[in-house]
Amino acid sequence: MTGKRRGLRVLHVSPPLPPYNIVASSKLDAKLLKQVRQAFLALDIKNPEHKKVIQALDEEYDGFAPAR
């Protein structure tokens, strides 16, 4: 922290979070949603073709993770 202290202190800093979240409409067919989700989670950064897909959003990305 630079400059004058202003009576605030940092209690916790979270790790950097990706700026992109992929979400689906609640109207999407459950079977299709499951297939799309599985496709994203199955991408492997070690596979050159998969790497292109993963890093299409950001070159620093190394995969996708489920979230709620």
pLDDT digits (tens, 9 = 90+) for 1-52: 556 677 888 899 988 877 788 899 999 999 999 999 999 999 999 999 999 9
Radius of gyration in angstroms for the set of CA atoms belonging to the chain, rounded to a whole number: 18
Q: Burial of 50 by CB count in 10 Å (0-12 exposed, 13-18 middle, 19+ buried)? A: middle
Q: How far apart are CA 63 and CA 51, in angstroms?
A: 8
Residue the block writes with tokens 């999407």: 28
Whole-prediction pTM value? 0.67
Tell which phi-psi region holds residue 28, choosing left (phi > 0), alpha (psi between -120 and 50) or beta.
beta
